[in-house]
Amino acid sequence: MSLDVEPPEPPELAAVDPNEYEDAEVAGGEYRRDELEAFLREGAWAEAFDEWAAASDMDEEDWQIALDLDLVSRFDFFWDDFADRVGYHAPGLPEDWKERDLHPDLDSWGTVSAINAGLTELGQIVCETLKAEYIDWEAEFEAPDDLPDFEA
């Protein structure tokens, strides 16, 4: 399947401590958001979006709901120096979506799941694109000398 839509504007990255997210644990305090945001605007976002859309299971109706709810603007990307990777937080729809009456076309768990899974997949592809094509810095974390040697 594929999603034939234009990429939205990349998100602006806020100064949030990624450890506040339920799904992240990041060591260090330099998240390099300014540099990551610049890479997104220079083409990483559009490149990753196109790759994601070409294989996405989301349909145009699901994507429109995500746009209407401004979910894309709530993505967060940050540098995780300890793991030498780009981390991310994908926005999603809450479990109480039905009680909150978030959107008139949001009417099933299938739609909620498709949107949440699709945005998670997009976030992962953006991270992979940033790391592979844009980031040329090395992690500054150095392991202590007293760690055991696990090489065989």
Q: CA nearest 31: which of 47, 14, 46?
A: 14
**Distance between start and end Cα atoms, the chain:** 44
- pLDDT tens series, the chain, 152 aa: 688 999 999 999 887 655 555 655 555 566 788 899 999 999 999 999 999 999 999 999 999 999 999 999 999 998 887 778 888 989 999 999 989 999 999 999 999 999 999 999 999 999 999 999 998 876 555 555 555 565 65
Spatial CB neighbours of 42, under 8 Å, sequence gap ≥ 6: 134
Spatial CB neighbours of 106, under 8 Å, sequence gap ≥ 6: 65, 93, 97, 112
The C-alpha atoms of residue 3 and residue 140 are separated, in whole angstroms, by 38
CB contact burial 49-72 (16+ within 10 A = b; e otherwise) = beebbeebebeeebbebbeebebb
